Amino acid sequence: MILPFLSVFVQELGVRDIQEAAVWSAMIFGSNHLMVTLTSSFWGRLSDTYGQKVMLIRGI
């Protein structure tokens, strides 16, 4: 839901060039997927160790 407004927000932060705002928006949006990729094995290992119910409660 934030994707259509992300470039406007980046421009509000001080980026004036449209192409540069698009690049910054793509990097911000893509960083979420990168972090999920890097940390999913860690959270999976914790879930295997302590149980899925405990991790679900932590997530909530």
CA distance 12 to 10: 5
Model confidence pLDDT, tens digit, residues 24-55: 999 998 998 999 999 999 999 999 999 999 98
| pTM, two decimal places | 0.62
pLDDT band at 7 (very low <50, low <70, confident <90, very high): confident
What is the structure's pLDDT at 42? 92
Length of the chain: 60
What are 27's two structure tokens?
A: 């990097």
DSSP string, the chain: --HHHHHHHHHHTT---HHHHHHHHHHHHHHHHHHHHHHHHHHHHHHHHH-HHHHHHHH-
